[in-house]
Amino acid sequence: MQNPFFAVYGILAEYNKRQSIKNLPIKVDILLDIVRERCELKTIAYTEADAETKHVFGNVKFYYPVPKNIRTIEEPTTAIIKFKKEISVPMQRLVVCKELCHCLADTEHDHVTSVDAVKSLLEGLAGDLPPSIVGDGPLRSEKWALYLALELLCPVEFRGEHILMLRRDEVSMEQLAERYEIPLEFADIPFKNTSYYTAARSGRRNEFVSFR
């Protein structure tokens, strides 16, 4: 299985061919198109919707063509990401990217981002490297998707400098969240969780985007 952080490098390298990654914030629509191509889907789209419950932030559903015969196994051709109307634009960006990461990793199941799942993710972050996340199944998948979504929106190419600036009080967490257009409540993960930063760099195999 390909290291997920290296897969993110490939997406950002392709992004940089279309628009320099130094022009923050990262544009979700460009990521959407790249993932669509890599997953060989005809369509990936996102839209706001009324959540079924107040706890749901977003979800992705895959749609399959009608099989030609009963023995035919068809691959999905369309993925639709829906996010809750009331959430902020930074949260919309994170939810859409998180569901995009599910498209990359697994097109066999629908996925849901919920308040409870997010709380579990945050509680599980303390001190653990992403590859050593405890547990299997949906929770592990959700954690990986969150890490990778933040990696897409906060490329490691820039984080080292900003982590140092944060430690020297030259920039605030609020300023970083605004610059990368991510939710403030998630900014600690890319900018304060040093084990995450180390894992992200290691997972890149010393491959970093040479942005123009």
Contacts of 64 (CB under 8 A, 6+ apart): 74, 75, 76, 77
**Residue 21 gets which letter from DSSP?**
T
Distance CA 183, CA 190 (A): 12
pLDDT tens, position by position, 7-27: 888 899 999 999 999 899 999
pTM for the full model?
A: 0.75
Taking the C-alpha atoms of residue 70 and residue 176, their distance in angstroms, rounded to an integer, is 53
- Residue-wise pLDDT tens digits, 64-83: 565 555 455 556 677 777 77
Q: What's the burial of 184, exposed, middle or buried (CB within 10 Å: 0-12/13-18/19+)?
A: middle
Q: Report whether pLDDT(192) > 50.
A: yes
Q: What pLDDT, on a 0 to 100 scale, did the predictor assign at position 53?
A: 47
Q: Which helix (H) or strand (E) holds 49?
A: strand 43-49
